[in-house]
Structure 1
Amino acid sequence: MEGIRAELVVEDPHRCDVAAASRDCGPVSSVSRSVVPDAEGRVHDEFTVREGDRPATLGDATAIFRDDRRTIYRLPRPQGKGCVCECIEREGCTVRDVQVVDGTLFVTVLARDLDGIRAIVSTLREAQDGVKVGKLLRAPPEDDEGRLWVTDPEDLTTRQREVLETAYEMGYFEYPRNASAEVIADELGVATPTFTEHLAAAQRKLLERLLENSNCRSDATSRQGSPKERQ
């Protein structure tokens, strides 16, 4: 079976108390959520702050563990308030990892196929703006021993490959980012808007190619039948 791993980027997500709390501290990681409500009918989110300010409270969140490296907070909230993670899980997909930087949510999602990712993005965009697919990786079929793939880099122009490779090597896609768009643009000797335009064009082309490959493979599978049918 094939699978899709996607990183969704949601700017200023609605109804996400952890994202709101992140504006008053450093990057947030290791977000976990309880599913069993307490006596007051609330569930709890727990998250870790390793850098920046780590006060005893962040809004409604309270520190439950502290040492010289990290602070873990617990945040009570109403159950079923329609946050991003709940919307993803309602589409039948799995939330693998959640991190937040200054109010922007980075959610790693596991889905069976691209249709699952499309459904998630469509649902989230109905409720708010600022929803993007940051990264998209596809696992090879079980009978293919290749690595995870996205698309053929030859689909890109020389300039697009240069921009993409420089951004990757300088840590633009890391969490948190090791280099800003301005720094990478300076390294490439171009204006920041030019860098972001080339980067967006490269990412769009990669995604279009991946979606095209997915449709072609689906058509081929439909024509050939399942492995058992071909025996």
Structure 2
Amino acid sequence: MGEGQKWKQGGRSSIAVTQITELKTKLDSTERILSTLEKERPPSQTASDRPQEPQNGKEKEKESLNEELHELKKENKLLKETNALVNRKKEHYECEIKRLNKVQIYEEDFKRERSDRERLNQEKEELQQINQISQSQLNKLKSKIKAFQMEKEKLEKQFQQMSFPTSNCGLGSPLRDLCRPTGPGAVQDLQKHPPDYQWYAPDQLPPDVQHKANGFSSEKKVNQ
């Protein structure tokens, strides 16, 4: 129910209350006048009690008072009927106002419920979007992990193909000499700090070892 309807119903109720108050005031005033006229009205006289001389002025005044009293009684009756009608209208307006207030409460509850439902739907959509983004990022991360694992396996296979057995220490005697410790203190030092050998293919030897290997090969050719 809008504010205009509320003011309209409140205005009707106020008008009804004002009318009732005015009618009650008028009714009370009429009843007081009737009571006064009844007291001032002379008692009925018999023909024998009436004076012989006519009193035209008093008779006319009496008739006028009787007519006024009769009109006031009619007006009083009409006012009572009008008052009863206004009271019924007042009760009707009060019931209507109560009903409209309940309708307004129901309407406000419905609007509040609809607003909450729309808010929850919006939050649900936002959570679904966040879930989709998280799922997409998770799938990308899984793909990267899988690619890293495949690259790791590939590198391990290449390393295994390039490595030599640890029992074979080199190519020819000069390389074997490189694997043996020299001097009496070198044995103890080797026991404390064993060398960390990395084995290479002939074309992938360290530069110093490859140089010695090339020198050994040249000397062998000269001796031949």
- For the aligned pair, the TM-score class normalised by the smaller chain equals under 0.3
Q: Work out which of the two has the higher radius of gyration on C-alpha atoms and give 1 or 2.
A: 2
TM-score, normalisation: structure 2: 0.23
> As a proportion of its length, which structure holds more strand?
1
TM-score, normalisation: structure 1: 0.22
